[in-house]
């Protein structure tokens, strides 16, 4: 008698000990070796709401396929037994695995359910960012340059994450950059009013263009995989700061209209906006416009990461579990009410 086929369930709905079929994205595949020399692959599969780990040891029947065929960013149909380890968290034992096929859509396969996405409509954010550039950039050459880059790379920007740590989801680049641009405009307008007699004055157009283009190198740092973009060879070799500077420089030279002096300053914002060498910045900030973009960028990235940690934490008690990126626990409780604290 043949065994009954297991049910098809979402990965995030599986319970400990349950065998089930599910669709999942292979988001990580790392080769390793034990101290005794035993080879293995540490794999992670995910859907939008859960990530599970899976160890593929050298004597596993899946080892050869894992080594030769499995690809990060590819979707699979799996038959697994789900479990939860006290130390290592959600895990699966694979019984069957294959890449998804067109017929899987009839069973409910939807790749958008396997990855995180921005809370906001990506197409709407791209339109808003283009409108912001046209409205806020008064220098014709910078306005033309920014408009051309957003137009040429707009299709990629619809799905591009901001990075693999900050806003690491579809549309993350647009959500992050639009927020940074808005806040940079608020900051530069505040300081222009606060220091009305300073010479030389802050260059508002330079801040706006720098805020919009500070991470434009991501379009070259990551490949064009829609679900989970992988680093390109240039991305690994040079990083998004150098790639962004080169992209802005070549586009400006092609279009014309931006003075060499202004282009130099815009390139400096792109190269120096991370501010510190240990964060990847090849140069320290040398103009005040970089500081505005840097702090708007840094705050936006850290706050998103902080709030994502609080939102997803399931740890009992007043503090979150230690977040591997933030590097520490966070308080996950807030006082109720809006009045002043009692004495």
Q: Which domains does the chain have, with CATH numbers?
A: 11-114 (2.40.50.140), 122-306 (1.10.3210)
| Selected residue with higher pLDDT from 340 and 245 | 245
Q: What is the pLDDT at residue 222?
A: 93
pLDDT range class, residue 343, cuts 50, 70, 90: very low
Taking each continuous run of H as one helix and of E as one strand, the counts in the chain are 10, 5
**pTM of structure:** 0.77
| Selected residue with higher pLDDT from 164 and 45 | 45
In the structure encoding, which two tokens stand for residue 107, read together? 């069973």
Average pLDDT rounded to a whole number, residues 213-239: 91
Q: What is the mean pLDDT of the chain?
A: 89
Q: What is the pLDDT at residue 154?
A: 96
pLDDT range class, residue 146, cuts 50, 70, 90: very high
* pLDDT higher than threshold 70 for residue 334: no
Average pLDDT rounded to a whole number, residues 177-199: 96
E-only strand ranges, 60-120: 75-85, 89-99
Average pLDDT rounded to a whole number, residues 5-14: 93
Rg (CA), the chain: 24
Q: Smallest Cα–Cα separation from 285: which of 234, 241, 240, 239? A: 241
């Amino acid at each position: 008698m043949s065994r009954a086929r297991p049910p098809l369930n979402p990965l995030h709905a599986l319970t400990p000990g349950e065998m089930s079929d599910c669709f999942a994205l292979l988001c990580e595949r790392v080769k390793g070796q034990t101290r005794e020399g035993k080879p293995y692959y540490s794999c992670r599969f995910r859907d939008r709401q859960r990530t599970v780990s899976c160890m593929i040891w050298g004597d596993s029947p899946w080892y050869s396929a894992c080594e030769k065929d499995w690809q990060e960013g590819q979707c699979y149909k799996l038959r697994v037994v789900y479990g939860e380890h006290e130390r290592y968290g959600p895990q699966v034992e694979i019984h069957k695995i294959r890449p998804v096929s067109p017929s899987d859509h009839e069973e409910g396969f939807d790749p958008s359910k396997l990855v995180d996405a921005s809370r906001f409509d990506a197409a709407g954010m791209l339109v808003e960012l283009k409108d912001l550039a046209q409205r806020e950039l008064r220098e014709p050459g910078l306005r033309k340059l920014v408009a051309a880059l957003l137009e040429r790379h707009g299709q990629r920007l619809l799905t591009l994450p901001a990075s693999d740590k900050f806003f690491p989801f579809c549309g993350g680049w647009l959500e992050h950059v639009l927020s940074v641009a808005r806040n940079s405009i608020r900051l530069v307008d505040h300081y222009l009013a606060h220091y009305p007699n300073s010479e030389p004055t802050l260059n508002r157009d330079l801040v706006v263009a720098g805020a919009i283009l500070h991470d434009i190198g991501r379009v070259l740092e990551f490949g064009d995989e829609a679900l989970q973009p992988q680093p390109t060879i240039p991305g690994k070799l040079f990083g998004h700061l150098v790639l962004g500077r080169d992209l802005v420089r070549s586009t400006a030279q092609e279009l014309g209209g931006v003075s060499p002096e202004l282009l130099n300053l815009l390139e400096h914002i792109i190269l120096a906006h991370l501010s510190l060498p240990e964060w990847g910045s090849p140069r320290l900030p040398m103009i005040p416009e970089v500081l505005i973009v840097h702090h708007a960028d840094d705050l936006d990235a850290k706050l998103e990461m902080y709030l994502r940690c609080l939102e997803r934490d399931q740890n009992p008690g007043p503090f979150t579990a230690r977040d591997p990126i933030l590097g520490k626990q966070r308080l996950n409780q807030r006082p109720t009410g809006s009045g002043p604290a009692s004495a």
